[in-house]
Amino acid sequence: MSETERTMADLDTPALWVDLDILERNIAELAEHFRSAGVQWRPHIKGIRVPAIAQKALEAGAIGVTCATIREAERMAASGITDLLIANQIVGDRKIARLAQLRRQADVKVIVDNADNVRALSAAASGQDLSFEVLIDVDTGMNRTGLPPGPAVVDLAKAVDQSEGLRFRGLMSWEGHVLAMPNPEERAQATADAIQQLLAMSRDCRAAGLEAAIVSGGGSGTYKTTPFIAGMTEIQAGGAIFCDVIYQSWGVETTPCLFVKTIVSSRPAPDRIVVDAGFKTLPVWHEQPRGVNLEAVKSHTASAEHGILVLERANQRVKVGDLLDFVVGYTDSTIILHRQLYGIRQGKVEVVWDVQ
């Protein structure tokens, strides 16, 4: 039996699978959402990791993809996706050499927040007759990377603009610090405040004679607010393509479509279910996975090979050998643990993708 002749019942557990009908509907909804906002869509693929799914987003209207690492960008380029933004600094001779090689294959943009990095990129590009497209990373409250809003942002943009082999393209930030705010109204206001800092820097760059053509930011957790703020040119939301428990807690309204299929391996007590998916395949540390059609779960913990569910009350319905599906708690920390993703349509395996 070939992979694509199988049904859901044929999959060994634990297995990572995606409902293709829901996936395609989510992509269509997101593409239309960003079109209605008048911004470009450049989904972040750090939690997608399957080029064929990124291609589905491009077919729906995305302009390219956002990557977290040079390796992700290389994999996307190898699959034929050539409009790439690497949303982290590329530092060190080895990574910059890989960037130069990638630049020969793709339209790749990188971010910077340091003058030494600018000089290193310039030396590599000019030495190989290349041009790197560069955005300035602005810290609007995340307190991770990026320059704080102020004159230093414009100064670094000028340094990029004046550097041989570099082309200043604009600015980027990520307002992820707002996601911990439980109140939706407060979260929306904090998002707007953060984006206004980024937009102020884009205006300052333009006032200094620099073309800030790209103003990039926004994620799935802020996709209801950021795209509708005038001045943003592209949005990086990617996690909403799959959606998951944690994205739903942030107000994402696409439908979860990524699951881990498990088997009940033990019922040691009426209020306890043990499945064969531990933290190697179904991690719980960002957010607890949610059992499909499984109610009254008090807690879900994990050891290496076991998922342990403690129930609020006794449940005799679930038996050893039963199959249980779980909506993943957080896509990014789950998909990287699997080698294959099964694409399921109406209960049948339609496609099997390698997780890159």
CA atoms of 356 and 354, how far apart (whole Å): 6
Give this prediction's pTM. Answer: 0.96
- 48-74 pLDDT tens trace: 999 999 999 999 999 999 999 999 999
- 252-305 pLDDT tens trace: 999 999 999 999 999 999 999 999 999 999 999 999 999 999 999 999 999 999
- Identify the pLDDT of residue 104: 96
- Identify the pLDDT of residue 81: 97
What DSSP assignment string belongs to 26-89? HHHHHHHHHHHHT-EE--B-TTT--HHHHHHHHHHT---EEESSHHHHHHHHHTT--EEEEEEE
CA atoms of 351 and 348, how far apart (whole Å): 9
Percent of the chain at pLDDT > 70 equals 99
- 133-150 pLDDT tens trace: 999 999 999 999 999 999
Residue 327, C-beta contacts closer than 8 angstroms, at least 6 positions apart: 244, 245, 256, 258, 259, 289, 290, 292
Is residue 1 over pLDDT 90? Answer: no
- Identify the pLDDT of residue 47: 95
pLDDT band of 4, cuts 50, 70, 90:
low
Token duo for residue 273: 């279910």
- 188-204 pLDDT tens trace: 999 999 999 999 999 99
- 99-135 pLDDT tens trace: 999 999 999 999 999 999 999 999 999 999 999 999 9
pLDDT averaged over every residue in the chain: 97
| Exposure b/e, 257-279, CB count within 10 A at least 16 = b | bbbbbbbbbebeeeeebbbbbbb
CB of 148 closer than 8 Å to CB of 139: yes
